[in-house]
Structure 1
Amino acid sequence: MAQEGADRGRRPTLVDVARLAGVSTALASLALRGVAGPSEQSRERVLRAAEELRYRSNAAASLLARRRSELVGVTCYLDRGFDADVVERLYVEAAERGLDVLLSAVTPSRTARQAIRTLADNRCEAIVCVGSGVVPDDLADLSERVPIVIVGAATTAPHVDVVRTPGDAGTALAVRHLVGLGHTDIAHIAGGTGMSADERRSGYETAMREAGLADRIRVVEGGPGEADGVRAAERLLDGAPPTAVIAYNDAAAVGVLAAARAAGLRVPTDLSVVGYDGSRIAALSYVDLTTVAQDIPGLAAEAVRLADAPHADPAEVPHDVVLAPILIERSSTGPAPR
C-alpha cells in the first residue's frame, strides 16, 4: 500500500520510494534517472514503487545537486508574435546543446526587472532577453555574474551580448522595394517605445532621402499592436492617403490592412502595406503580408551559442552579432496606383 511508504497527506520523497522498493536511496535515484548501475529487477521495483506513491522528482533539488543547472533563462513579452517565434526556436537550439529553457514573461503586471530577477534566483546559467534592449539599471550588475544576451535590439548596458537585425537596414529594404514598384508617397507608422523603433524610423527616413523623396517623408506614431496600427492608419487615411505604408511590425501592419478595408481601399491596388519581423501571422493565407523578415532561427542559434559560451574575462568586449534582414514579397504590395 502506498501509505506504508509515505505518511498520509505528505508528498512522497525519494526515501519513501527507496523504502517501498527495498533498495538504497542512491540506487533508487539511479533507477529513476535511467542511469546505468541498477539491475533490471531493481529498476522495475523502483519504478513500480514510484508509480504507486505517485512520486514526482523535485527538479529544484536535482538542480542544486548538480554543478551546472543547465538552464537558460528567457524573458519575453507574451503579446508579441516575434517574441513567441524566437522563444519557440530557443527551445530547439537549447535542446541541441543539452540545455533546458526556463521562461519568465514580461506582462502589463510584471516588469522586466521582476522577470530577470526570477531567472537569476533560479540559478540560470545565462539569461536571454527577447524583444527588449532594456536591462534595468539596478540589475546591470547581474551581467558581471550571469551572462546576459539581448535578442532583437542594441543596448548600452555593460557586459551584455547582443544578437540583432539592424532595424534601419530593414526599413530601407522596404522603401527600396516600394520605390521599385513606382511608389513615391510612402508613409511610415512608427513603433513608439517598441524594440528598435527609432532605428526603423531612421532607416525609413534615410532611404526616402536617398531616393530623392525627402519632401514626401511622412511618419505617424503608432506602436507594436494591431490596435496601434488601426489608429495610426486611420489618421493617415483621413485626407490624402499615401499609396504605401511601412508599419513598425507585422501586428501593426495587420491593423493597417483592417483600417484600409474599413475605408474602402483595396490592397494592394489602392494601398500597398509592408510589415516587419517575418512573424507567422504575416504568412497566414488571409493576411499574405509583404514583410521584412528577421532570421529567427539564426537569432536563436546565436543567442544560445553566446549563452552557452560566456566570456572568460569579464572585461572582454561584449559581442554584437548582426544578421541581415530579408524582404519577403507577398500580395500586400503591388505597383503604385496610376
Structure 2
Amino acid sequence: MPYRSAPTILDVAAKAGVSKSLVSLVMRGSPNVSDDRRQAVLEAADELGYRPNAAAASLARQRTHLIGVMVSDFGNPFFSDMLEGIEEAALLAGYRALFNTGSRIAERETMATETLLELRTEGLILGSPRFADDLLAQLPKTVPVVTVGRDTAVPGIDVVMNDDRHGAELVVQHLTELGHRRIVHLHGLPGAGAAARRDGFVEAMESRGLEPRLAAAGFTERGGIVGAEELLRGGDLPTAIFAANDISAVGVMQTLEQAGLRVPDDISIVGYDNVAFTGLGQISLTTIDQPRHEMGTIAVDLLIERLDGTRSRSKHVTVEPALVERGSTAPPARRS
C-alpha cells in the first residue's frame, strides 16, 4: 500500500469548503465561528483523520503546556505510582507530561533534563535526582522546578519529601518491640533520601541504648545482594536487617535464603517504599509505605502554582510514612 501523507489544514479547508483561517479558528476553539461552519470543519477533519499540529499551535501561543519529568530509575517500581500521580494531576490541570530517566547516572540525568528543556517543557519535576547542587541551581533560572524524594536547600526549588527520618524510627520501633537488639541498616547512600534514613536509624537505635550497625548496599537488588554477602562473610549476623528500600530487600532475602537462612525464622527483614510486589505471598515484606501517588500529585500542584504565578517563594512539603507489617518480621526468639 503506497504511503499517504498526513492530511493538512489545507485539505480540511478544501473538503469543508471554507478558508484556512477559519479552520485555524475552529481548531483553536474560537467562539467567533458559526455552529454550521464549525460542524462542517470538524466533520471534514474527522473524515480525513486530521489532527492539529500541537507543536505549531503551542509556538503560536508561546505555551506548550508540557511538564518534563525526569526520574533516576525507571526500573524502580517506586516511581511508577509517582508517575501515575503526576500524569493524572497534569491532565486535570490541562498539561501533558513527558517522562525520561538518567538511569542513576548523574551525567545522563543532566542530558535527560536538557532534552526535556529543549522540548520546551514549561516546568520540571525531578524524581530523586543525583546530579550536584550546582547543576540543580541552574534549572530554576529557566523554568520552575520541583524535586521529589530529594531534599535540597537550593534557592527557587520546591521539594516534596517523605519524612525518611521518621520512617527509619518506625522501623526501629517495630523491630525493638518484637525483641530485636542486633539490627543492621543496609543503607542506600549516596541515593536520595538515604542519608535521612541512615541518620534516623542511628538516632533511634542510640536513643534505645543500642549499637547502630551500618553497611552500604544501595537502592538496587544487586546492592542488597552485595550487602547481604558482606554480612554473611563477617559471620556476626544480626537478628534483623533494615534494607535501603524494597528492591534492595528482595536481594537481601534471596541471598540469605540461598545461604540456608529462613526469613523471618532466622532473620527478620524490613524494606522501604511499599511497592506493589511487597504484598505478594512469596515475599510478604514488612516495609515503610511512602504515599507515592500523592507525592506525584503534590509535585504537579506546586509546579502549577509557579506557572500560574500564584506563588514565588520556594515550598517544602513533607508527607508522613507508615509501617506496613507483613510476614518478613518476627520476634528473634523464633530463630532455631
TM-based fold match above 0.5: yes
Q: Distance in 2 between matches of 1:283 and 1:35?
A: 51
**In structure 2, what is the equivalent of residue 149 of structure 1?**
146
8 A contact 1:30–1:38 mirrored in 2? no
Q: Distance in 1 between matches of 2:40 and 2:287?
A: 55
Q: 1:183 to 1:30 in 2, by over 3 A?
A: same
8 A contact 1:275–1:289 mirrored in 2? yes
Match for 1:281: what amino acid? F
Match for 1:92: what amino acid? E
Q: 1:177 to 1:139 in 2, by over 3 A?
A: closer
**In structure 1, what is the equivalent of residue 220 of structure 2?**
225
- Say which SS state the counterpart of residue 124 (structure 2) adopts: strand
Moved more, 176-185 or 125-134: 125-134
8 A contact 2:79–2:292 mirrored in 1? no
- Say which SS state the counterpart of residue 101 (structure 1) adopts: strand
**In structure 1, what is the equivalent of residue 161 of structure 2?**
164
Of 258, 262, 269, which aligns to 2:265? 269
Q: What are the Cα deviations for residues 262-285 of structure 1, in whole angstroms up to 9, with x where unaligned?
A: 111111111111111122222233
Q: Distance in 2 between matches of 1:320 and 1:295?
A: 16
**In structure 2, what is the equivalent of residue 58 of structure 1?**
53
Q: Distance in 2 between matches of 1:183 and 1:230?
A: 22
Match for 2:286: what amino acid? T
Q: Distance in 2 between matches of 1:35 and 1:47?
A: 17
**In structure 2, what is the equivalent of residue 185 of structure 1?**
182
- Say which SS state the counterpart of residue 128 (structure 1) adopts: strand
Of 172, 176, 179, which aligns to 2:173? 176
Q: Distance in 2 between matches of 1:319 and 1:193?
A: 24
8 A contact 1:154–1:164 mirrored in 2? yes
Q: 1:113 to 1:64 in 2, by over 3 A?
A: same
1:1-338 aligned at under 5 Å gives the runs 11-29=6-24, 37=33, 39=35, 43=39, 46-48=42-44, 51-52=47-48, 54-76=49-71, 77-107=73-103, 111-132=108-129, 134=131, 137-138=134-135, 140-214=137-211, 217-238=212-233, 239-310=235-306, 317-337=313-333
Moved more, 32-41 or 59-68: 32-41
8 A contact 2:166–2:321 mirrored in 1? yes
Q: Distance in 2 between matches of 1:282 and 1:40?
A: 57
Q: What are the Cα deviations for residues 77-97 of structure 1, in whole angstroms up to 9, with x where unaligned?
A: 212221222111111122222
Q: Distance in 2 between matches of 1:325 and 1:245?
A: 19
Moved more, 37-46 or 321-330: 37-46
Q: What are the Cα deviations for residues 216-247 of structure 1, in whole angstroms up to 9, with x where unaligned?
A: x2211111111111121122133132111000
Q: Distance in 1 between matches of 2:132 and 2:117?
A: 13
8 A contact 2:167–2:288 mirrored in 1? yes
- Say which SS state the counterpart of residue 116 (structure 1) adopts: helix
Structure 2: runs of 5 or more not aligned: none
TM-score (norm 1): 0.87
What is the root-mean-square deviation of aligned Cα atoms in Å? 2.7
